[in-house]
Structure formats: C-alpha cells, structure tokens
Structure 1
Amino acid sequence: MSATLKLARNDQGEPEIFRSIQGEGRAIGRPRTFVRLSGCNLHCVWCDTAYTWNWNGTPFAHERGVKFDPSAEMVKIDVADAAAQILALPSEGVVITGGEPTLQADALIALIDVLRARAPDLLIEFETNGSIAPSGALCERVDLFMVSPKLAHSGNDASVALNERALSVFAQLPSAYFKFVAKTSTDIETAAAIAKRFGVPAGRVYIMPEGTTPEALDARGPGLIDATLAYGFSYSDRLHIHLFGQKRGV
C-alpha cells in the first residue's frame, strides 16, 4: 500500500502544490515548486499558515483569533499522485514546507525517492521549526534544511520549541541553515546565543523580520540590520509577501 501525505488545501480546495520563487532564506529568489503539508506540533501566535494547524475546538491562541475546520483545510493524497503534481510544475528544486514536515517524515522519504527516480538532479529543500530531530534517512535525501527555531515571541514553550537533541542534530549537518524570526534586536541576541550554544557558524544563520504584510516588514526590517551585521549573520526578507501579499499558493 502506497504512503499518503496530509497536505494543506489552496483557495480552490486542491492540494497546495504550486510553483513560485523562494521568498526566504538561503535560496531566496530562486524558482521552486512548493509542497505545503498540514499539521504542526508548534502553535505560533503570528503564524501566517495557521490553516495548517489551528483547528476548531483547540485551545491555541492566535493574533487573528481564527479557527479552521480540518476537513476543509486538509487533504490526504497518495505519494505517487503528489509526485506527479510536483513534476508537472518543473523547476530546479522542491521546497517541502508546512505546517511541520517532520511529522510526516516517513511519507516524505517515500515522496523524495519517487521524485529522485524521475528527476535525479532535483534539489530538495526542507523547511522545519527544528523541534523534531530528523532521521538519518531523511538527512541523506535533503539538499538544504532551513531550520527556524521559534523564540519566545512565538508563544511556544521553549522546552518544546527549542529541543536540544533536535537542534544538535541539525547544527551538525552542513546542509542545515538556521533562520530566526525576529521582532527586535533582543531577538537577534537570543538567536546568537542559540547559535553559539549549538555551534552554528554565523555564515549559516539568517535573521528574518516577523510580519505578514509589506508594511509590517518595511517597518520592522531596518531596526534589525545593525544587530544582524554585528553578529555576522545574513538578513532574509520575505520576498513573496512583498510580491503577492499574504495569499495561499504563491
């Protein structure tokens, strides 16, 4: 029996598999095909994809105060069907995002194997909150991990969000880069302390402003630059927000 994935739905109710440019992090501006998974083990109060986890009847807080019906927002799809949809949108790489993809690691390994069998040179990028340690089988299949540990302003308990074992595994991977969402320069100091604790070189750390509108990003970004430079980190904008706004499937 073939493995299945739980994917988010786009505005048309179809699996959220789409082609766009990468808006954040190491590969910003590059053409990518995105696969958005449903389900997350963290519950960030400012999350811009809360439709992947903030279900009706759950106690999780969110700035927008909106809850979602999982039957309307999540679709199960066979790995072979997902691979066919991905390969129908050719680009140099695939971004596996969420939600939190490591929750479906086994099915994703199966998906990557199908994709690589048909497109051996396809780059595989994996976006994760870094709170769940990846298996060796997953690590050997992924070209780039973008690990985004969640700081206190996300509203998550640090004992869950900053999993020492998981972050240690990611920190030791040459393919892993760390991306911290920041509101203030104090957040960058916290990011620097985490990077130092786990031995992550400054060249593998990105600082990204929190914000889900161009106006919010423009207002917050300049105040983060001095601290970003002081620590030798890289700065990542959210290019897709500037281009498209907060929409699904872009």
Structure 2
Amino acid sequence: MKLARLNNKAEIFYTVQGEGKNLGKPSIFLRTSLCNLHCIWCDTDYTWNWENTPFETTKNVKYRREEYIEELSPKEAAEIVMQYPCKHVVLTGGEPMMQQEALCEVIEYLKAQDDYTFEVETNGTLPPSERFDELVDQFNVSPKLANSNNSEKIREKPKALKHFSQSAKSNFKFVLSQEEDLNEILSLIEKYNINPAAVYLMPEGVSEVELKRKQSWLVEICKTHGFNYTDRLHIHIYGAKRGV
C-alpha cells in the first residue's frame, strides 16, 4: 500500500482529531498517498501534486513522487499503529478510499489484536465496498465545492454521495472560503437529502489568523441552519505542521 512519507518513514502518528464529530479525541492517524481530486488550497498536496503534472495550488510547489511515497504491506502499517497507546484510528489522505482493499487488511489485522475503532476521511467521490463499509465505524465525508478548483464533474459523484447520505455512519464536513459558499452547500444538502444534524461547517485556512477571521460569520450560519461548527484544532495547537 502507498502511504505518505514523513521524515523517511510512513506518516503514521498519534495526536488528537482536529476536525469534525470527534474533535479532540486521541487518535492515531494513518495517511495514505494519492488522491483523485486536486484542491487548490489542499494542505496535504504532497500526496498528489507531483512534478510534471498540470495541477495548481496556492502553495505553488511540486513534489517528487518517489520522495513522498512510502510503500508498506498492510501488516507492516498495522504493526506501526500498534506501537501507540490508543485504539482509535483515523484513515486519511490523500484519498484513502482509493486503497480500500489494503486498508481492509490493516483494519482486520488490528481488530484481531484488540478493540480498535476506525474513522475514514474521504472526499465522498468513491463509494465503499461492502467489506470496507462493514469494517469502518465512521465516515467523515467532505464533498468539495467550487472553491476547491475541481470541476463539478469530478468532485460530485451522485452514486457515492447517495450512499453516504443514507448511511448512519456518515457525517458531512464542508469547507467554506467565503459566505457565498453556503448556497452551494444548501443545494447539495437538498439534492442528496443530507441530515442537517450530520453537517459540520469548517473555515478554510492554515493559520489561526485565517480561521479566526471566518469564525464569527460561520458560527452564525450554523446557528441559522442547525449545522455543527467545527474548527481546525490542530492548527491552533501546533500550527500548519505535518505529523501532529
């Protein structure tokens, strides 16, 4: 399986969940490499923005693919996870659901050792296999908006979104750059019959200043529509750093 590489090893680390329903929960993060979208503001673009590709980001940086991918077997990845004193795992990326088969093996290996729980962070373009769906406890679905600079054709996949909207395991996180993004979010919620109580709105930003600038109007939107507000706790604690 292909994982992101950090400090010459797989990017698997112990921290607290910084976003969404489990904000503040001690968690082990396992970051996969590769993604099927290319968000202009992505803060993990080292998982996909390779040299000689046409994609643009606000960081304007390209990465050498061979330097940013760590290849491990599912068992090797699981054994790294087991080194940490925690039983809650967040599978993130990139887009982890591009590697469902390998991640199923990771999950099954860990569940055979102890009572692990798993949440998956996904852009909501790929539906889970039956096996993967059964193994995962929670899906954090983050459909991308026009502000991501992805075309509607590739960022909105009805089959996947219909599946997630009908699943009790799913929560939906939307990233807002400006107040005008709300209209697009409301349209998606209506189109796919998403439960407002399962919706989390998060400000786009990689610094405390950026996040705080958007908090006041975003909280008011949440109050008006019955959505949940989620911050980016890790940014406030650690700043825009990897592996924390």
Superposition TM-score, scaled by structure 2 size:
0.98
Q: Secondary structure at the match of 2:51?
A: coil
**Residue 223 in 1 paired to residue 217 in 2?**
yes
Which residue of 8, 18, 43 corresponds with 1:13?
8
- After superposition, residues 35-114 of structure 1 pair within 5 angstroms as 35-114=30-109
Per the alignment, in what secondary structure is the counterpart of residue 27 of structure 1?
Answer: coil
Q: What do residues 120-174 of structure 1 show as CA deviations (whole Å, max 9, x unaligned)?
A: x211000000011111111111101000000000000111101111100111110
Structure 2 distance, partners of 1:170, 1:99, is: 19
Identity percentage of aligned residues: 42
In the alignment, the residues of structure 2 paired with residue 189 and residue 230 of structure 1 have an alpha-carbon distance, to the nearest angstrom, of 13
C-alpha separation in 1, matches of 2:171 and 2:87: 19
SS at match of 2:180: helix
What's the secondary structure of 2:121's corresponding residue? strand
Task: Work out which of the residue numbers 146, 153, 161 in structure 1 matches 2:155.
Answer: 161
Looking at structure 2, the residues matched to 245 and 40 of structure 1 have their Cα atoms a distance apart, in angstroms, of 24
Q: Which moved more, 1:128-137 or 1:18-27?
A: 128-137
Would the aligned equivalents of 1:124 and 1:142 in 2 still touch at CA under 8 Å? yes
After superposition, what is the alpha-carbon deviation per residue over 1:88-124, rounded to whole angstroms, capped at 9, x for unaligned?
11213100000000110111111111011011x2110
Tell me, in whole angstroms, the C-alpha distance in 2 between the residues paired with 1:92 and 1:25.
18
CA distance in 2, matches of 1:73, 1:191: 33
Letter in 1 for 2:96: P
Gap runs ≥5 in structure 2: none
- Map of 2:189 onto structure 1: 195
Paired residue for 1:243, among 237, 240, 244? 237
1:173 equivalent to 2:184? Answer no
Q: Tell me the TM-score normalized by structure 1.
A: 0.96
Q: CA deviation at 1:192?
A: 2.0
**Is the 1:192–1:231 Cα contact (8 Å) retained in structure 2?**
no
SS in 2 for 1:94: strand
Partners in 2 of 1:155 and 1:118 — Cα distance? 42
> What is the rounded CA distance, in whole Å, between the counterparts of 1:188 and 1:179 in structure 2?
12
